[in-house]
Structure 1
Amino acid sequence: MHRDQSSLKAPTASHEVVSPLFLDLDQMLDEFTPLPIRAEFHFDADMPAVITVEFLAERGPSLVWRIGRELLHRGLTAMSGCGDVRMWPALPRERPSSWLLLESQEVEALFEVPSAPLEQWLDATYRVSPAETEMDALNWDGFLRQLLDGPVAPTAD
């Protein structure tokens, strides 16, 4: 899920803020070559079902993906997702982790994500916006109207 879904925003019910999570990940260049990379996970209470992940490159532009919160949460313990975003737990080792696979026409990247800090952070997001209420206040009428009407062309003055 990496498209902007801003027309689905819900009004913020809670003023609690979940600080961004910075994690050091390993991007697997091949089976034996990890490349350390930093990622910033953002939670927006106006769009609680979506987590924005910014992969911070040392050189060049950052890469931003929007990933379903439930996909990330489930991926800590079982295979989760399909298509362009998938996540599953790694085999047991000294540092519990999960694999996050991102695919598009332009890029395919596999990341090893430390499980414990991501799980704690996701738990904090669920305390602000529980899973069963994250879709309650979304503006479905506005979203469907925009979808059916198509994009509005700018008017010339």
Structure 2
Amino acid sequence: MHRDQSPLRARSAPELVPSLYLPIDQMIDEFTRQPITAKFRFDPDMPAVITVEFVAERGPGLVWRIGRELLHRGLTAMSGCGDVRMWPMAPGERRSSWLLLESQEVEALFEVPIPPLAQWLDTTYRIISAEAEMAGLDWDEFLMDLLDGPEAAAG
């Protein structure tokens, strides 16, 4: 099957799930928060991965690709390991989750409000269910995009 005729392309379109622009807080230290915007993007051609761009007020943004399931589970329980982890705040506090991103260059902790992210993720699952997200996936292209990013795939 030609990649332009994949079942994922045929049954959905990116505009069915608009990007979510979500105000979040980056924890600079234990007492200091910096408000920023996170842009969550869902691509029906890669439904298992959510692209999150942390939009800085000044300077370049930071882009991470995070598993949709990791984000979904992180709203209610500890999720992820290694470079990306997410877990809900303690009961009684605000309805938020902590999102921790770590790499050689970056370590960042964000407070993410649960209700708008949960609603947006539910919309993505209505477009492509968790059970169907791997159907019709071109694994070679998926891994190239995931590991190298779109710039390498285009080159």
- Alpha-carbon distance in 2 for matches of 1:28, 1:55: 13
Worse-superposed segment, 53-62 or 14-23: 14-23
Q: Which residue of 2 aligns with 1:132?
A: 131
Q: Which residue of 1 aligns with 2:149?
A: none
TM-score relative to the length of structure 1: 0.81
Hey, which bits of structure 1, 4+ residues long, moved more than 4 A? none
Q: Which residue of 2 aligns with 1:36?
A: 35
- Give identity over the alignment, percent: 69
User: For each residue in 1:13-39, what CA deviation from the matched residue of structure 2 results, as whole angstroms up to 9, or x when unmatched?
Assistant: 423510000110000011111110111
Shift of 1:59: 0.6
Worse-superposed segment, 123-132 or 16-25: 16-25
Q: Which residue of 1 aligns with 2:83?
A: 84
- Alpha-carbon distance in 2 for matches of 1:94, 1:86: 19
Higher helix share: 2
Structure of higher CA gyration radius: 1
Q: Which residue of 2 aligns with 1:15?
A: 12
- Alpha-carbon distance in 2 for matches of 1:74, 1:122: 11
- Alpha-carbon distance in 1 for matches of 2:141, 2:17: 26
Worse-superposed segment, 129-138 or 9-18: 9-18
Letter in 1 for 2:9: T
TM-score relative to the length of structure 2: 0.82
Shift of 1:136: 1.0
With over 3 angstroms needed to count, the CA separation of the structure-2 counterparts of 1:93 and 1:37, relative to structure 1, is farther
Q: How many residues align?
A: 138
2:131 is paired with a residue whose SS is helix
| Gap regions ≥5 residues in structure 1 | 1-8
- Alpha-carbon distance in 1 for matches of 2:141, 2:56: 33
8 Å CA contact 1:10–1:46 kept in 2: the answer is no
User: For each residue in 1:94-113, what CA deviation from the matched residue of structure 2 results, as whole angstroms up to 9, or x when unmatched?
Assistant: 53000000000001000000
Map 1:1-157; keep pairs closer than 5 Å: 11-16=8-13, 17-93=16-92, 95-140=94-139, 142-143=140-141
1:30 is paired with a residue whose SS is coil
| Gap regions ≥5 residues in structure 2 | 1-5, 145-151
1:46 is paired with a residue whose SS is coil
Q: What RMSD, in angstroms, separates the aligned Cα atoms of the two structures?
A: 2.1
